[in-house]
Amino acid sequence: MTIKTRFAPSPTGYLHVGGARTALFSWLYARKHGGQFVLRIEDTDLERSTAESVNAILEGMTWLGLEYDEGPFYQTKRFDRYNEVIDQLLESGHAYRCDCPRERLDQLREEAMARKEKPRYDGCCREKTVNPDEPHVVRFRNPLDGAVVMDDMVLGKMVFENRELDDLIIRRSDGSPTYNLSVVVDDMDMEISHVIRGNDHVMNTPRQMNILHALGKAPPKYAHVPMILGDDGARLSKRHGAVSVMQYREQGFLPEALLNYLVRLGWSHGDQEIFSLDELTQLFDIDQVNKAASAFNTDKLLWLNQHYIKSADPARVAHLLGYHLGKRDIDPANGPELMDVVMAQRERAQTLEEMAEISEFIYRDFDDFDEKAAKKHLRPVAREPLERMLVALEALEEWTREKLHATVEQVATELGLNMGKVAQPLRVAVVGRAASPGIDDTLFLVGKEATLRRIDEALGYIFDREANTGEG
RNA sequence: GCUCCCUUCGUCUAGCGGUUAGGACGCCGGCCUCUCACGUCGGUAACAGGGGUUCAAUUCCCCUAGGGAGCGCCA
């Protein structure tokens, strides 16, 4: 059997992490088995589907690198086919027209709830003959007894009693097909062998299997993957911040980090945490996926992201960093080689956004010293080391890390101080705060001109402080 | 309310009848060190509860509790 999976989002919002993981699982499953992966846009809800959402989903898939072999298919372009199937069902008696007014349906629901029963359609029109020219919907004639058995690849064997199911609408009064009908037709026509989807679809499965059965087709294999919960264990929602995959890019995450994080939510391979896509296509399997929902933990994602920032090709990281610097109105061309910045900062940043932030000092003078840092390091005792550094650096002809390191070391030795006593005031003077890459890297990246200017500024600051407090 | 599903450290998880219940993130501490990090070493912390089955249950069964999903002319 040739393996074919699909990812079928509805374009009513952005691609979120839950959808992305489902897509990843489907993609991996297809890749692992040398099969095909299909992208299908489920836009039968004309009211809520938008072109922006379609673009956002396509963009998200591209960013993640989940390329599809077929599609994107749009259900709105297949209405004729769905109607053909509905008519076929009508003809064979597996479906019937229903003209129950909405008010009656609402009332039915309320009454059932009041009786503490599950709200279901009562089958009122099952045996009625409804005029096709009058307003009506088409319902699927679900079997009244018996049971549907689904052998789910993650949930295991599940049995649904037909009497728990009601006659679902498969064609709306406006003539458009509904979800449960169109998925069945599409999965059938596109020869999807494995339906991998979110847990929220479990209850649809027996209905879809019944429709398939009425059509005389064998059902595909199903795998219902658990939901992803928010940091707080509650259902993931907009309240949790970045739920859209593209927001993670904006925040400076690498796609491989997000993918690696997502695949470990519900799936594992022994104690291994880091997986390349190649490894995953070898190791992943859907029946090892957990049944229980899992909570999204941003701290772990950050850890993975830093791991990938550290191990990714610096040239690529540099390119990406350029984008994030640009968001801060910084033109990387007006500074050192971006690669040098990356090499100096990649062990200090968990995201590219953070890397851009902590690298600002390289490109422009800061407005104020960090209060705590200045208080601690820009004290009168630091005046002499800084004055000496100023002179020594001014005289330095080769602005290299080696020379810079030697200079700092020499000044420290001359004054009988340890490195820290010189490097820290110098760091605060040049960076504005107490944390930065090694002092030689820091000075190298800032450049001679800005370094001298900022040391001078810092000396002025110390001078003012001495004058004001009488410290000394 | 009804139907179905789930339940190991705070979080992600390993475990598939006999383990000092393992790893990872986080957190705490040591080392490294010019700062911050990185790295490294160590520590903290879990089988939801109750019944069975068994020589033996985290592992199998049942019940309870808690959590989730579904119950649309949404997907």
**From the CA of A174, how many Å to the C1' of B28?**
64
DSSP string covering A183-210, please? HHHHHHHTT-SEEEEEGGGGGGHHHHHH
Q: How many Cβ atoms from other residues are within 10 Å of residue A131's Cβ?
A: 9
For residue A200, is pLDDT > 80?
yes
Q: Please report which confidence band the pLDDT of residue A465 belongs to, taking 50, 70 and 90 as the band edges.
A: confident
CB–CB of A401/A444 below 8 Å?
yes
Q: Which nucleotide is nearest to A412 (CA to C1')?
A: B34
CB–CB of A437/A349 below 8 Å?
no
pTM here is 0.94
For residue A241, is pLDDT > 60?
no
- Mean of pLDDT over chain A: 93
Whether A238 is catalytic is: yes
Closest to A94 measured CA to CA, from A180, A214, A176: A214
Burial code (b: 16+ CB inside 10 Å, e: under 16) for A340-369 equals bbbbbbbeebbbbbbbbebbebbbeeeeeb
Kindly tell me the burial class for residue A209, based on how many C-beta atoms sit within 10 Å of its own C-beta (0-12, 13-18, 19 or more): buried
Separation of alpha carbons A192 and A38, rounded Å: 9
State residue A235's pLDDT score.
67
Expressed in angstroms, the distance from the first to the final Cα of chain A is 84
**From the CA of A345, how many Å to the C1' of B37?**
9
Third-level CATH fold of A366-472: Arc Repressor Mutant, subunit A (1.10.10)
Residues A248-269 pLDDT 10s:
999 999 999 999 999 999 999 9
Domain boundaries, chain A: 366-472
Residues A333-347 pLDDT 10s:
999 999 999 999 999
CB–CB of A275/A260 below 8 Å?
yes
Q: Which residue is nearest to nucleotide B27 (CA to C1')?
A: A299
For residue A238, is pLDDT > 60?
no
State residue A472's pLDDT score.
45
Angstrom distances, CA of residue A211 to CA of A89, A281, A367, A420: 9, 33, 68, 75
State residue A110's pLDDT score.
87
Q: How confident is the model over A129-142, as a mean pLDDT?
A: 93
Q: Which nucleotide is nearest to A232 (CA to C1')?
A: B11
For the CA atoms of A301, A305, A308, A310, the dihedral, rounded to the nearest 10 degrees, stands at -130
Q: Please report which confidence band the pLDDT of residue A22 belongs to, taking 50, 70 and 90 as the band edges.
A: very high
Separation of alpha carbons A252 and A56, rounded Å: 18
Q: Which nucleotide is nearest to A439 (CA to C1')?
A: B34
The secondary structure element, H or E, covering residue A225 is strand A221-225
State residue A114's pLDDT score.
84
The interface predicted TM-score (ipTM) is 0.95
Out of A118, A238, A327, A375, pick the active-site residue.
A238
Residues A400-418 pLDDT 10s:
999 999 999 999 999 999 9
Protein-contacted bases of chain B (C-beta within 7 A): 1-8, 10-14, 22-26, 33-39, 67-75
